[in-house]
């Protein structure tokens, strides 16, 4: 089982990237929540390329922040580069149809949601 890691970095023009590696589940969701809070007010990409697994708790943390930020006008967030397994979970939950899940960083950065 891959160890969970979450990191954040500046990717230019006031944008942040949160990178998730390993399994995002109940045991570590609070760590992601802390990083998301630090990024509040910025355009933020959540990179799921190396996320091996995501459960409902991890999804809830991301969706709750996405909705709060939109409602409060305090930054914008998108999800990028989910692997096939994670994409399947996001699709089954209906999240891929909301316009905030993108197949690559380039697609995410080119989306009006981050402008």
Of the chain, the percentage scoring pLDDT greater than 70 comes to 95
**Domain with 109 in it: what CATH number?**
3.30.750.24
Query: Structural domain tally of the chain?
Result: 1
Q: pLDDT tens, 17-71? A: 999 999 999 999 999 999 999 999 999 999 999 999 999 999 999 999 999 999 9
Give the chain's mean pLDDT. 92
Cβ atoms of 69 and 42 within 8 Å: the answer is no
* Enclosing domain of residue 44: 5-114
DSSP E strand stretches across 25-82: 43-54, 76-80
| pLDDT band, very low/low/confident/very high, at 9 (cuts 50, 70, 90) | very high
């Amino acid at each position: 089982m891959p160890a969970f890691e979450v990191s954040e970095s500046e990717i230019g023009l006031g944008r942040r990237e949160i990178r998730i590696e390993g399994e995002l589940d109940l045991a570590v969701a609070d760590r992601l929540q802390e990083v998301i809070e630090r990024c509040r007010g910025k355009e933020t990409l959540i990179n799921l390329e190396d996320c091996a697994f995501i459960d409902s708790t991890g999804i809830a943390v991301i969706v709750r922040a996405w909705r709060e930020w939109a409602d409060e006008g305090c930054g914008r967030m998108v999800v990028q580069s989910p692997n096939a397994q994670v994409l399947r979970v996001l699709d089954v939950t209906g999240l891929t149809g909301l316009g905030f899940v993108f197949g690559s960083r380039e697609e995410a950065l080119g989306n009006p949601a981050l402008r």
